[in-house]
Amino acid sequence: MSQVNIDLSNLHSVINDAYYPYLTDKSRYFVSYGGAGSGKSVFIAQKMIIRILVGMKSGITHKFICLRKTMPAARKSIWALLEGIIDEWGIRGMVTINKSELSIKFTNSSEILVGGLDDPEKLKSIYNITGAWLEEANEMTRDDFMQVDLRIRGRTPSYKQICLSFNPLSKLLWLHNYFFVNKVKHASIMHTTYKDNRFLDEQYIDTLEGLINQDPTYHQIYTKGEWGVLKNTIYNNWETVDDFPEFEKMKDFCFGLDFGYVDPSVLTLISKKENDLFVKQLLYKKKLTNNELIDQIKSIIPKKYYRTKIIYCDNAEPARIDEINKAGLIAKKADKSVKDGLDFCKRNKIRIDKDSTEVIQEIQGYKYREKDGEPIDGEPVKYNDHTMDSFRYGAYTHWGKHRAKAELIFI
């Protein structure tokens, strides 16, 4: 193999100062926790790539596996992040990327694999592993962690390390007891917040700092990165389902659309059968123009359905709704009555497609604002709630609002 010339002298320009010392950390477990926007995930991805590049110079190969709870979640987060760093650093010529298998192979045979704990085939590939990354480890069980930990064994030319990254959502999580109470051996623990990320945009900083006026628990967890216990969650009537019904098998369904640009645009599919509400995330993407959003919707929803089924939209954007209708879809203003909408959704059993990553994440932390420790009825915390809004728009406007009117007639 020809000599590889790799210049790593400018790493300080792309790595946050707080993380830089941990490039050489060789602990069995590197636990990176803290607030939102702190750059935890970016650093772990950077560290793996840097270890591979250093290995190219010294003749050492690495094999890393990066995992989330589900494959779709891993594809949207870890895979997208790794591809972004490869492009940003201009090293695409050194890699072969297989998007279908979610693998990145370097010219020296080092490899990064991306997958979900729900993918048995990917888990079978955990052998001769240099290291693993468990992203959003709060989604995982202790058994999930042990399964990975026990498989990373045997001799390799470099140290083995399992990296875990997460927000400290609750002291009830196994992570708190395992790493912070029992203090397992051979673990390095790093705490960071948005203040440690010099690459963060001002608008997101304002959002995080504004949580102090929204909810003290959210401010504690997401802004300060401290352990909290989420109370007063809104939905406790939900579960995930493995076999979400296909379009053809649903008799009554609609869509909910929450507009965004800096925030994500979100499209959800909602179906109702008796007292069950079925929810599936179809789109969750930032920086989409309205034309791009329309194209995305048309590529996701079969034509016979987007021309006949209603998309209930955020009514604060009438011009965007008009444009969607002109493109041949059926878009209507949603009834955004928050309290009534929440009450309706709470009266039903919510069944979420297991691959709807952001829906599951949001519903777990979706809670009422508090005043003097007591929940304020009908006022959710306005943070990390885009799928929740989208879901409520469709569910309440399509079924709940009409039901309420029908009942009123008979009074």
Assess contact for 348 and 272: CB atoms under 8 A: yes
pLDDT at 397: 97
Assess contact for 30 and 163: CB atoms under 8 A: yes
How far is the CA of 325 from the CAs of 19, 313, 389, in angstroms? 48, 11, 21
pLDDT at 155: 81
Residues 288, 218: Cα–Cα separation, whole Å: 28
**Residue 114: which of 160, 80, 65 has the closest Cα?**
65
Main-chain dihedrals φ then ψ at residue 288, nearest 5 degrees: -100, 125
Q: Give the chain's domains with CATH numbers.
A: 11-200 (3.40.50.300), 238-409 (3.30.420.280)
Assess contact for 190 and 30: CB atoms under 8 A: yes
One-letter amino acid of 26:
K
Q: What angle do CA 5, 45, 79 make, to 5 degrees?
A: 105
**DSSP secondary-structure letter at 368?**
E
How far is the CA of 346 from the CAs of 17, 219, 276, 350, in angstroms? 45, 26, 11, 8
Main-chain dihedrals φ then ψ at residue 265, nearest 5 degrees: -85, 135
Low-confidence ranges of the chain (pLDDT < 70): 1-6, 122, 125, 402-411
Assess contact for 386 and 264: CB atoms under 8 A: yes
pLDDT at 313: 97
The residue behind tokens 């993918």 is: 119
One-letter amino acid of 360:
I
pTM: 0.84
Task: Please report the DSSP string for 185-253 in residue order.
Answer: SSEEEEEE-GGG-TT--HHHHHHHHHGGGT-HHHIIIIIS-------SBS--SEEEESSPPPGGG-SSE
